[in-house]
Amino acid sequence: MKEHPILFNAEMVRAILDGRKTQTRRALRPQPPKGITYHDSNNGKFQYHYGPDVYAVKTIHCPYGVPSDRLFVKENHYLYGYWERKPLAKKEKYRFKPIQPIMPRYFENPPDTILPKYSLDRGWNKRSSLFLAKNHTRVWLEVTNVRVERLGDITEADILAEGIFKWPLGYGRYTNYEKKETVSFPRAGLAYADLWDSTNGPGSVYKNPWVWVIEFKKVTA
């Protein structure tokens, strides 16, 4: 069993904690070329033939592991500390210094006062998910299945497993969970397209990329 980091925004973390999200889709890097003649995915690998030579096989390995591997979720958070100047640095002129043993806080329990970036005062600072330490991870997932498909192959059941919720007259998602802002759509596919574009860039859903489909369940560390 291996452990891998995975990034989720506040909306998706909330969906995981609520038990609504058990799947995530991530675009393959790099994308397979157009006109591949054969493809197969199993055990975290995606193999395809390309070009006129049927023996030209390309293999891409899933960066999120294989079934039974674990994922530690990295999310935006608030950390108590201060910024330290680095006078000799050419690029990054400041370095954030957390104050131990104060634990991070998350979107559902933000601090009353948040300092501006690069403040030399001690206090709470908003930090990107990239900088969440593994030992501060509060959400752990176990990979239960990995497959590859085109984004457009997603089903309504998959969309609900991605964290989109169903209302009596349509489908919805939180555009900003911290402010409890929601938006509704008449069809599940429109709700998921809006979610995909919000994290991958406007109009990216129309590229219909090949994606890793990672199914998981929440576990303790």
pLDDT in tens, 137-153: 999 999 999 999 999 99
Last residue of a domain, one of 127, 158, 190: 127
Same domain as 63, residue 45:
yes
Average pLDDT over residues 203-221: 94
Cβ atoms of 120 and 85 within 8 Å: the answer is yes
Distance CA 78, CA 159 (A): 30
Same domain as 143, residue 101:
no
pLDDT in tens, 66-95: 999 999 999 999 999 999 987 766 666 888
pLDDT at position 93 = 82
Q: What is the gyration radius of the CA atoms in the chain, in angstroms?
A: 20
Same domain as 147, residue 120:
no
pLDDT at position 49 = 82
pLDDT at position 114 = 96
pLDDT at position 88 = 67
Same domain as 165, residue 206:
yes
Mean pLDDT of the chain: 91
Same domain as 91, residue 65:
no
Same domain as 64, residue 156:
yes
Percent of the chain with pLDDT over 70: 95
Same domain as 210, residue 148:
yes
Same domain as 64, residue 103:
no
Same domain as 145, residue 60:
yes
DSSP string, the chain: --EEEEE--HHHHHHHHTT-B-EEEEE-SSPPPTT--EEEEETTEEEEE-SS-TT-EEEEE-TT--TT-EEEEE--EEEEEEEEE-TT-SS--EEEEE-TTPPPB-TTS--S--PPTT--S-EEEEE-GGG--GGG---EEEEEEEEEEEGGG--HHHHHHBT-EEETTEEEEEEEGGGTEEEEESSHHHHHHHHHHHHH-TTGGGG--EEEEEEEEEE--
Cβ atoms of 110 and 174 within 8 Å: the answer is no
Average pLDDT over residues 36-42: 75
pLDDT in tens, 22-36: 999 999 998 988 878
Same domain as 112, residue 86:
yes
* Burial environment of residue 58 by CB neighbours within 10 A (0 to 12, 13 to 18, 19 or more): middle
Residue 53, pLDDT > 80, answer: no
Domain count, the chain: 2
pTM to 2 decimals?
0.90
Same domain as 107, residue 188:
no
What residues make up the domain containing 27? 3-72+138-219
Same domain as 196, residue 123:
no
Q: Does any domain span residue 132?
A: no
pLDDT in tens, 162-198: 999 998 889 999 877 767 788 999 999 999 999 999 9
